[in-house]
Structure 1
């Protein structure tokens, strides 16, 4: 039999003593009533029943079924010893019935019913001519253990319910902590990706412009002055973007956010690369459509990072950006014809980079995909497919409004 309760706390000894003393007093009080209905001091048999049945009460938590059987046996012996079987003298049986059903999960109800039947059978031969008073008294003897069993089962169900509620609360707390940690990790990756794209782009352009200025410093002062002027503009733009990004991170959740860059700012982005010496051509096929903010930012950042890698590693002065608009997706391809590699992780003597990793993470985050690699004819290719929201059928809606729909 499976029990749901453990050992009693050490500080509960006084509670056990009080229960045992009360049960002992009730047994003796039940022995005061004689079989003929008169009152007399409890005989020695009453003391025997009280001592034996109450002695097993402290063990009802560790062995509830054995304690129940022992107190029921004492109740069965009551009529055999010439005592009157009353509800008071079977008080230990009532207590063990409650403990049995409150602390066990299986066969507890059957044990309580059997105990009540045993008490009824033991008392039946002594009834003789059954009066209403005797019948009600015997009904109480049988009913008390049953009622105690029902109360014990109710207490067990209540404890199980409270334990389930507490467990659900703990699970919810753990889930909240796990969700909070997951969101913090995602936000950390997002911030790192944004700062990487921002810093890598601007620092690459600044490095290219500074290289040009250093190379032309002696031979072409005018061109050097122009390159330095463009370097100042580039570093100024970098500081502004970095300041805006840090300011965005400092804002509260209700503060208005700065608009994120998108394909509408593509001409400005390409112009910054042209100032650094990289000629970028753009080709578009299909009808351009407004993009959701997340996909718009992803497309912008992928083009920005791909061109930044071309500037850093491809050792070429030109690159090509191609956008193909489909009904359900937009394809973006960035190619170059350089002799180097656009993946910093492939360059010897350089630490691994996160450019391609960040681009793939961005594409995957919006439900797209990205591939990158060396082209057979030379150079490097970055291609991504980003999903587009479905186009609303405005033609059908207009026909229905005018009544021309079939």
Structure 2
């Protein structure tokens, strides 16, 4: 992919190209010098060799000084008739080549130099031809039109080069945009996996710690219950290892779009909250749940967000609150569901003494991604509160969205 600028031509290649152009122009001038008015061909005179050598030798300067080269070659073309040669397009081949180079490199204003040059090529020769007739008009018009036609081709080449440059730049920007979008998507997916890793594994490790604490406490007095806690601890750690292995395996995939189906199918929702609460009960945290309003099914994304917020909030209670109880409350209204998790422990004071952890940050990010809000902080009466307000699509909007998806699939 180029950067829109023409790379400089290597010197050797430039010499060969200029040498070829000069040789071709010299040969054309000599061929034109051999032509006569009666359409016969004779050996070119010495004046033809001289004029061809001078006009062709000026062509290498067309890269550095295109306007001056056009003027110089035009002057040579004006000398064709005074030197006793026939004015033909072949004799003005160097003028046509320099006009082409000028049109490729110069702006439109500089092309005005071609008009007086063409006029001079037309006006001068008749004064030096003794038997000039109107039959020679077409020939002289062709001579005058030769540099103009060359300039038209040069201008077309300039436009084509500009068009190709623009298209290459657009292709480069489109490729960069695709790469940037791909990197952004990969980064977002990795962040989502990292958030899942924290929510899943941290929850299991916290439960394992609580179960181990309960087993150690009951080991001497109630060994049977301690054995039950240890059995639950084994299951919890096994599940945590499975979650960790699956998530780390996703992160190690070399592809840009890792398959996260292991994390999202099936996606937990509010229907799995009672089972979640039972795991905390077995870990020694008494959790009560209350609902106000009419519960409605949530879309999978919002349901997963609600589940993870409850999970993380209760995990924080287990880790930091130093209390044996917590409360989960769901309040349903027309467009939103409010999830509130409260406790009466001492975690609020500890939270004020340290910066927000990944748990609170992850809950806030989840709520914002779902179109909701989350507020967490100490309660005036003591303890800590996490409150999330998530949108609940109405039946009409859900139906329209479903119909739209069906229509797209049909198309």
Interval of TM-score (by shorter of Structure 1 and Structure 2): 0.7 to 0.9
Asked if 1:189 is matched to 2:196, the reply is no
- Secondary structure of the residue that 1:382 maps to in structure 2? strand
**1:317 alignment counterpart:** 324
For residues 28-67 of structure 1, the C-alpha deviation after alignment (integer angstroms, 9 at most, x for no partner) is 2222345787755434433332222111111212222221
Structure 2 CA distance for partners of 1:84 and 1:207, relative to 1, 3 Å: same
- In the alignment, the residues of structure 1 paired with residue 209 and residue 398 of structure 2 have an alpha-carbon distance, to the nearest angstrom, of 50
- Secondary structure of the residue that 1:42 maps to in structure 2? coil
Alignment of 1:125-274 (within 5 A): 125-126=127-128, 131=133, 133-242=135-244, 245=247, 258-274=265-281
- In the alignment, the residues of structure 1 paired with residue 349 and residue 369 of structure 2 have an alpha-carbon distance, to the nearest angstrom, of 22
More displaced stretch, 137-146 vs 173-182 = 173-182
**2:106 alignment counterpart:** 104
For residues 126-178 of structure 1, the C-alpha deviation after alignment (integer angstroms, 9 at most, x for no partner) is 46886454112112112211221111122222222222222222222222222
- In the alignment, the residues of structure 2 paired with residue 157 and residue 316 of structure 1 have an alpha-carbon distance, to the nearest angstrom, of 78
Show structure 2 runs of 5+ residues with no match: 400-411
- Secondary structure of the residue that 1:84 maps to in structure 2? coil
What is the root-mean-square deviation of aligned Cα atoms in Å? 3.1
Given candidates 392, 395, 400, the residue that maps to 2:396 is 392
Structure 2 CA distance for partners of 1:241 and 1:44, relative to 1, 3 Å: closer
For residues 197-253 of structure 1, the C-alpha deviation after alignment (integer angstroms, 9 at most, x for no partner) is 111111111101111221222233333233223323433443454466567777985
Structure 2 CA distance for partners of 1:132 and 1:384, relative to 1, 3 Å: farther
**2:385 alignment counterpart:** 381
Could you state the TM-score of these two structures normalised by the residue count of structure 1?
A: 0.85
**1:399 alignment counterpart:** none
Could you state the TM-score of these two structures normalised by the residue count of structure 2?
A: 0.84
Asked if 1:306 is matched to 2:307, the reply is no
Tell me if structure 1 keeps the 8 A contact 2:82–2:125: no
- Secondary structure of the residue that 1:307 maps to in structure 2? helix
How far residue 308 of structure 1 moved from its aligned partner, in angstroms, is 0.4
Matched positions, count: 389
Structure 2 CA distance for partners of 1:129 and 1:31, relative to 1, 3 Å: closer
Structure 2 CA distance for partners of 1:6 and 1:212, relative to 1, 3 Å: closer
For residues 288-337 of structure 1, the C-alpha deviation after alignment (integer angstroms, 9 at most, x for no partner) is 22222111111111111111011100111111222222332222221211
Given candidates 300, 304, 307, the residue that maps to 1:293 is 300
Tell me if structure 2 keeps the 8 A contact 1:310–1:316: yes
Tell me if structure 2 keeps the 8 A contact 1:248–1:258: no
**2:81 alignment counterpart:** 79
- In the alignment, the residues of structure 2 paired with residue 278 and residue 337 of structure 1 have an alpha-carbon distance, to the nearest angstrom, of 12
- In the alignment, the residues of structure 2 paired with residue 69 and residue 326 of structure 1 have an alpha-carbon distance, to the nearest angstrom, of 86
Show structure 1 runs of 5+ residues with no match: 396-406
